[in-house]
């Protein structure tokens, strides 16, 4: 079942019941929210083990935070924010590992977070890094709102509806920001030629 299309009201109702003390309602919250949360986390984190850990921790945090949930609030943007923060924490741990451990250990941590296959050739890894750096440099020239939309659409591989839900804006606003970002990038590439 795709919660974005036909289960949003059911998810909000289940979360309302759970927040009011109905422990059984959490089963429905998990059933409805797990697939989109899993997709969102997998779009950020290519390591399946880490993605599973973040997904599970997101559900645990939802469970622990039920007392602070606002009745009838959108559940998925809240869950996505929790997952995004957990992923950021994992990135911080990776940076710490780079400082504390030998370079070869830090590389293993970095590969697991970014989903690089340890069996890929050095040339393939270098090409991926160069493409990502070029894209990040180009996105750095855009207004932040446009860059954020493109990062979510292209680097995180989210749908327009998922980006709209994540950012708390309309689908039309996502499309407009993406269009403006593409136009800006085209203009910048013309200036570079």
Could you list the pLDDT tens digit for every one of the 193 residues in the chain? Answer: 444 445 678 999 999 999 999 999 999 999 999 999 999 999 888 788 889 999 999 999 999 988 888 888 889 999 999 999 898 888 777 765 555 444 444 444 445 445 555 556 777 777 777 777 777 777 778 888 888 888 888 777 778 888 888 788 899 999 999 999 888 888 776 665 5
Contacts of 11 (CB under 8 A, 6+ apart): 3, 28, 29, 32, 33, 75, 76
CATH class of segment(s) 1-119: mainly alpha
Q: Domain residues of the chain, as ranges?
A: 1-119, 131-193
Fold for the domain defined by 131-193: Arc Repressor Mutant, subunit A (1.10.10)
Q: 0.85 exceeded by the pTM? A: no
Distance CA 183, CA 180 (A): 5
Dump the DSSP string for 84-152.
HHHHHHHHHHHHHHHHHS-HHHHHHHHHHHHT--TTS-HHHHHHHHHHHHHHHHHHHTS-HHHHHHHII
Distance CA 112, CA 104 (A): 13
């Amino acid at each position: 079942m795709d919660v974005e299309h036909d289960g949003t009201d059911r998810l909000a109702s289940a979360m309302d019941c759970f927040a009011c003390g109905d422990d059984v309602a959490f089963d429905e919250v998990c059933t409805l929210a797990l697939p989109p949360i899993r997709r969102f986390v997998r779009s950020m984190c290519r390591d399946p083990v880490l993605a599973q850990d973040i997904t599970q921790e997101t559900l645990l945090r939802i469970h622990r935070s039920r007392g602070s949930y606002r009745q009838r609030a959108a559940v998925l943007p809240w869950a996505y924010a929790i997952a995004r923060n957990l992923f950021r924490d994992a990135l911080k741990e990776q940076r710490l590992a780079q400082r504390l451990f030998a370079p070869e250990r830090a590389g293993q941590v970095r590969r697991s977070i970014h989903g690089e296959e340890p069996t890929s050739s050095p040339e393939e890894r270098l090409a991926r890094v160069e493409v990502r750096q070029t894209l990040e440099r180009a996105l750095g020239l855009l207004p932040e709102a446009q860059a954020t939309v493109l990062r979510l659409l292209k680097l995180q591989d989210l749908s327009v509806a998922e980006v709209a839900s994540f950012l708390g804006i309309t689908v039309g606003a996502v499309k407009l920001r993406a269009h403006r970002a593409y136009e800006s990038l085209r203009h910048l590439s013309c200036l570079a030629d």
